[in-house]
Amino acid sequence: MQVEFSKIEGRSAAFYVAAAALAALGIAGTYSTYLLSVHGLYLSGMTNRVPWGLQISMAIFYIGLSAGSLVVSGLYGIFGKLEYKPFARIAAYLAMLFLIAGLLSILTDQGRVDRVFVKPFTYLNVTSMFSINPSLYSGHVLICIIYLWALFREKGTLTKIASFTVCLWAIGTHTGTGAIFAFVPRELYNSALLPPSFVAAALSSGAALMILVKVAVFRGTGRPMDEKLVIWLGRPLLAVFLVCTLYVLLIENAHRFYLAESREAGMFFLFGGFHSVLFWFGLIIFGCIIPAILLFLRRTGTSVPWVVFASALVVVGVLFERFLIVIPGLIHPPELFPGWEVTGTVLWEGVVDYSISFYEVLQALGVLGIIGFAFLMGLKFLPLAPTEARALAA
């Protein structure tokens, strides 16, 4: 079956407005980063007890999104499912953009942005996940570029090899990203299940976002797309990913809750604050269970609007999950004196809170603006979008 790709027209008012808005956000975010680098990170909501906040959460969110995109792309690349060839290029391009977004988010969060372009490359520390990960990410971007090139040139064998490599490398990258948190002796971080739960949530969010992007691109450009393709991405692909995510989350929290030594921390995570609301309602109920039910039920799982709705819920739910990876571990104090409680102090001891500041939001929106703009430009100047997407006959 022949699939043709072509650039989108990109002349509609909606396109120009979107592109301009995204570019403006990108510039605003860059300016915010500049302000933070000149005046100090006190302009963000981060404190000495909560040194990582919105930017790092968004960074791992973007990295996670790239995994699912690559899996969808790999449906054609590795498994040769011809009906998914129309989706492959956009998926690969978006995966690359998300990785760059993750790197950008981390980059703009450093205290000394002027040093971060040189020092991590000349003074590597192989025991540090923060040192290994940029190598993983940049290698990942490189392989994505090779993969995209193979897709554009329709090189069959190279596509297969590149797709296989990039999916394997993606598992490495995402495990590494999960390991940033898991390989650290903080009570709510130190869990061997954190990398797998990170990968599972990454696959869910990526597949969900792919569904949203596909529908948006095809509906936006008016090109025909067979609904069955999107529906298959939701049911069974996304549904299976959701089940995996729920499974790993369940075991992780049950384990923490069960053992006496971690029970207090586990209780804090599950019931101890506003983050618990985000966990139960944002992630578990609305982010995993309801979308899974919607996808499994035949009546809703085979209708595109419901699948889109479920995907949107999943994307937001996983965003909450990224926050829940980063923040509760920091606002929960370490147990320095078992059997004693801390009464008076100069530092923020005990449970603290973290509120996002305007500048941080601007930074995050800026990164979103930059890659959104790059995506729109890619659609317009590269033959990324297929002219049509049809399911195979019979």
Partner 1 sequence: MDRREFLKKGGAVLAGTSGALGLPLLTSCGVNTASEDSPLAGRKWGMVIDLSKCQSDCTACLDACRHENNVAFHNDKRWDIHWIRKVNIRNQESEDIEKSVLLLCNHCENPPCAQVCPVQATYKREDGIVVVDHHRCIGCRYCMIACPYNARFFNYKENEEWPNTDFPKRSHGVAESCNFCAHLVDQGRRPACVEACEAIDIRALHFGDLNDPESEVSEIVASAPVKRIRDDWGTEPKVYYLGL
The site for partner 1 (CB under 8 A) is made up of 37, 39-42, 46-49, 51-52, 106, 109-112, 115-116, 119-131, 134-135, 138-139, 142, 146, 155, 157-158, 180, 183-186, 189, 330, 333-349
Q: Report the distance separating Cα 219 and Cα 346, nearest Å.
A: 57
Least CB distance to partner 1 at residue 265 (A): 12
Least CB distance to partner 1 at residue 206 (A): 24
Residue 269 or 373: which CB sits closer to partner 1? 269
Least CB distance to partner 1 at residue 231 (A): 37
Nearest to 59 by CA among 118, 133, 163: 133
Residue 1 or 347: which CB sits closer to partner 1? 347
Least CB distance to partner 1 at residue 267 (A): 16
Q: Which amino acid is at 359?
A: Y
Residue 368: alpha-carbon gap to chain centroid: 12
Residue 13 or 126: which CB sits closer to partner 1? 126
Residue 123 or 222: which CB sits closer to partner 1? 123
Least CB distance to partner 1 at residue 102 (A): 14
Query: What is the C-alpha radius of gyration for the chain, rounded to an integer number of angstroms?
Result: 21
Least CB distance to partner 1 at residue 62 (A): 17
Q: Report the distance separating Cα 128 and Cα 364, nearest Å.
A: 25
Q: Report the distance separating Cα 166 and Cα 139, nearest Å.
A: 9
Q: Report the distance separating Cα 76 and Cα 78, nearest Å.
A: 6
The pair of structure tokens assigned to 91 is: 């998926």
By CB atoms closer than 10 A (0-12, 13-18, 19+), residue 359 is: buried
Residue 134 or 272: which CB sits closer to partner 1? 134
Least CB distance to partner 1 at residue 253 (A): 21
The pair of structure tokens assigned to 240 is: 């299976």
Q: Report the distance separating Cα 320 and Cα 364, nearest Å.
A: 15
Coil, strand, or helix at residue 158?
helix
Cβ–Cβ < 8 Å for 214, 230: yes
Residue 40 or 80: which CB sits closer to partner 1? 40
Residue 176 or 282: which CB sits closer to partner 1? 176
Q: Which amino acid is at 205?
A: S
Coil, strand, or helix at residue 389?
strand
Cβ–Cβ < 8 Å for 184, 192: no
Least CB distance to partner 1 at residue 114 (A): 9
Residue 180 or 208: which CB sits closer to partner 1? 180
